[in-house]
Chain A
Amino acid sequence: MGETGAVTRRGLRSLALLWRRARGLRVVTPFGPRTRRAALRLVFFAPALLLLVFLVVYPIVQTVFLSFVGPGGQPTLGNYRTVLSDPDTLNPNWFSWPPPLGTLIHNGLWVAIHLPISVLFGLWLALILRDVKGASIVKSAIFLGMVTPMIVGGIILQFLYESGPGIVPAFFGAVGIKSLDISWLLYRQTSLLGLIFGSIWLWTGFSLIVYSAGLTTIPQDYFEAAKIDGTPPLRMFFRITLPLLRPMTLVIVTMTLLWELKIFDIVYAAEGKTGGTAGSANVLSLQMYLYFVTGKYGPAAVVATLLTVMTLFATAWLFRRMVRKT
């Protein structure tokens, strides 16, 4: 695992350097003395570029373009107006429980609840598991959720929350909380939160594994020296452990954020195409799909574009932070 940590750091550093260099605009002479060799080198890039241009870049550009095109083919901002004024996107009563509050708010809640809990819980587990016998078994158990296809993850969540076969309602029934002894995913009060909390079960393994790998890269001497100096554990955590884990934190937070913004399979499997009762668990990516299958290509393209802008911001944030470090 020590080796993997080194690879992580190397990868992070080279990316950060790259970002910096790209901003510095360094020009290299196009052709050396051996022009033929240079031309042949194009072959290394040609297949990748062809595939990327036709099946990724062109579709992206086309989607942006579509988002500005009206049903009659005329250029318009109407799609954006349609989407942003659609109660599915932002319910006028978005501050009142229960959902639907609008997909923007729902994705926001995913981030606000799921991100801190799964990241911090994973970190905490990684820390305590250092002193646990059989830690690798515990880690594997928690990591199972990451290996599970997300569509199966959604089905299992439905299974957990359904009244009858599900253990969650049965548990609340047994402890006497009758209001939660229901099929969680069918009710507006519980569907969204049920999925968000349930997904902590699926995703904590990620932060646990990356942090665990990160912890093994910290030389043990640091902790021992601090211990000899009588540093209290909490101070040790904030002064030594956390700063040294910073590259891992950046990657974990960004990847988790991207995962939450793009969340689709789980909601589709557990709540169906429409995102649950009255769309109470709907999210942006599912909303895009719904627009798409009902033939509203313009609004579908708008949702996709907005989603992409968000994910790009998250990624740019990661790069920025990494540059500051090196």
Chain B
Amino acid sequence: MKRPLRRIRLRTVVVHLIAWSVALAWIIPFLGVFNTAVRPVSETTFGWWRVDSFHPTLNNFVTAFTQPIYSLSSGYRNSLIVAIPATLAPLFVAALAGYGFSRFRFPMRDYLFLTIVLLMSVPAQMVAIPIFRIMDTLQLYDNLLSLILLHTAWGLPWIILFMRNFFQALPLEVEEAARVDGASDFRIFFRIVLPMAIPAFASAGILQFMWVWNDFFFALLLIFSPENMPATLLVPNLARGAQYTDWGLLSAGSILVMLVPLTLYVVLQKYYIRGMIGWTIKG
């Protein structure tokens, strides 16, 4: 009896050791970035792991936020201006459509739905040229409104899928009872269905917000002036003009841009994972 017990223990120790070293290895790059961000650049030029002189400072963060051009304060502002409406609008529009797809019957419904779902896999490059022209025609080039519109449309396919699956799983009894009482589709939707969908909105909303916040390609396509750039588009430009790459500044900027999705993830982890696993993962 003793031997298997010992073997199990040894195995447990090894498994723990492996798992924890993997976690450590995975954290190291972030540690490095953080370490570089909070020290003057002269100390980290030859590796942040050298700590013979160590003078923590917030200068890099302050510079990233306040430098005259390519400043992250405007980046933050622009990212929020885009991400908040580009999260709320598609949630609402997709909830309407998702509800429709889950409750109403009409010819070609499933074809239509399948087509919309397939749009999820289309790469952003496939719409880039026409979108650029459309926004130019509408005089929305270099205007944040173009990004809001585009992200609203672009987020729809997967949120529609997500909402439809959610509504599909809801019990029908309450809605049917209301229908018998003569309530219209809209009344049922707004009074009964929407309140029940709040957890689904949380899951889809957090993923959509992160997608919009993290987006780089659409911003690159449509935004030109530094003062209109969202945070992701600013970061690669942060250290522009320096003879060498200013890793202190760049690290601080990277952390600042990461901070928003990271905080959301930590606070709303439950909803994030649920949205992620509910098939509706975005590519």
A and B pair up: yes
- Which A residues are closer than 8 A to B by beta carbons? 1, 3-5, 7-8, 10-12, 14-15, 18-19, 21-22, 26-30, 37-38, 40-41, 43-45, 47-49, 51-52, 54-60, 62-63, 66, 125, 128-129, 131-135, 137-138, 141-145, 147-152, 155-156, 159-160, 162, 164-165, 167, 170, 201, 206, 209-210, 213, 251, 255, 258-259, 261-262, 264-265, 268-269, 285, 288-289, 292, 297, 300-301, 303-305, 307-308, 311-312, 314-315
Inter-subunit contact A148/B258 (CB<8 Å) = yes
Which one of B51-59, B66-74, B91-99 is at the A interface?
B91-99
Residue of B nearest to A298 (CB): B129
Q: B242: CB under 8 A from chain A?
A: no
Tell me the smallest distance from the CB of A121 to a CB of chain B, in Å.
Answer: 9
- Which B residues are closer than 8 A to A by beta carbons? 12, 15-16, 18-20, 22-24, 26-30, 32-33, 36, 44-49, 93-94, 96-97, 99-100, 104-107, 109-111, 113-114, 116-132, 134, 149-150, 152-154, 156-157, 160-161, 165, 168-169, 184-186, 189, 210, 213-214, 216-217, 220, 232-233, 235-236, 245, 247, 250-251, 254, 257-258, 261-262, 265, 273-274, 276-281, 283
Inter-subunit contact B129/A301 (CB<8 Å) = yes
Tell me the smallest distance from the CB of A103 to a CB of chain B, in Å.
Answer: 12
Tell me the smallest distance from the CB of A72 to a CB of chain B, in Å.
Answer: 17
Residue of B nearest to A137 (CB): B23
Inter-subunit contact B32/A160 (CB<8 Å) = yes
Known: A14-B165, A147-B262. A19 touches B114 (CB 8 A): yes
Tell me the smallest distance from the CB of B263 to a CB of chain A, in Å.
Answer: 10
> Which among A149, A159, A300, A315 is the interface contact of B214 at CB below 8 angstroms?
A149
Tell me the smallest distance from the CB of B275 to a CB of chain A, in Å.
Answer: 9
Measured CA separation A165–B276 after assembly (Å): 35
Inter-subunit contact A51/B153 (CB<8 Å) = yes
Inter-subunit contact A285/B125 (CB<8 Å) = yes
Contacts of A14 in B (CB 8 A): 165, 168
Inter-subunit contact A18/B129 (CB<8 Å) = no
Contacts of A167 in B (CB 8 A): 28-29, 32, 47, 49
Give me 18 A-to-B residue pairs in the complex whose CB atoms sit less than 8 angstroms apart, sorted by A's number: A12-B279, A21-B110, A41-B100, A52-B116, A147-B210, A147-B265, A148-B258, A148-B261, A149-B213, A155-B235, A156-B33, A159-B33, A159-B36, A162-B245, A269-B235, A285-B125, A300-B129, A311-B121
Contacts of B12 in A (CB 8 A): 131
Inter-subunit contact A138/B153 (CB<8 Å) = no
**7 pairs of A and B residues whose beta carbons are closest in the complex:** A258-B283, A44-B100, A55-B153, A59-B130, A11-B279, A59-B127, A48-B97
Measured CA separation A123–B226 after assembly (Å): 43
Residue of B nearest to A247 (CB): B279
Contacts of A60 in B (CB 8 A): 119, 122, 126-127
Measured CA separation A19–B15 after assembly (Å): 42
Measured CA separation A129–B16 after assembly (Å): 8
Inter-subunit contact A56/B119 (CB<8 Å) = yes
Tell me the smallest distance from the CB of A304 to a CB of chain B, in Å.
Answer: 4
Measured CA separation A66–B279 after assembly (Å): 33
Inter-subunit contact B277/A213 (CB<8 Å) = yes
Inter-subunit contact A308/B251 (CB<8 Å) = no
Contacts of A314 in B (CB 8 A): 121
Inter-subunit contact A58/B130 (CB<8 Å) = yes
Inter-subunit contact A165/B44 (CB<8 Å) = yes
Inter-subunit contact A37/B185 (CB<8 Å) = yes
Inter-subunit contact A142/B156 (CB<8 Å) = no
Inter-subunit contact A305/B165 (CB<8 Å) = no
Tell me the smallest distance from the CB of A245 to a CB of chain B, in Å.
Answer: 13
Measured CA separation A303–B126 after assembly (Å): 9
Known: A48-B93, A162-B245. A305 touches B283 (CB 8 A): no
Inter-subunit contact B19/A28 (CB<8 Å) = no
Known: A138-B22, A159-B247. A312 touches B118 (CB 8 A): yes
Measured CA separation A153–B216 after assembly (Å): 12
Measured CA separation A307–B123 after assembly (Å): 7
Contacts of A265 in B (CB 8 A): 216-217
Known: A142-B23, A167-B32. A251 touches B279 (CB 8 A): yes
Contacts of A54 in B (CB 8 A): 134, 153
Inter-subunit contact A149/B121 (CB<8 Å) = no
Residue of B nearest to A311 (CB): B121
| B49, B97, B220, B277 pick with most chain A CB within 10 angstroms | B277
Tell me the smallest distance from the CB of B273 to a CB of chain A, in Å.
Answer: 6
Residue of A nearest to B128 (CB): A292
Inter-subunit contact B127/A63 (CB<8 Å) = yes
Inter-subunit contact A251/B281 (CB<8 Å) = yes
Contacts of A49 in B (CB 8 A): 97
Excluding A10-B165, A38-B106, A308-B126, 7 further A-B contacts by CB distance (< 8 Å) are A19-B114, A40-B184, A43-B186, A131-B15, A160-B32, A165-B36, A268-B216
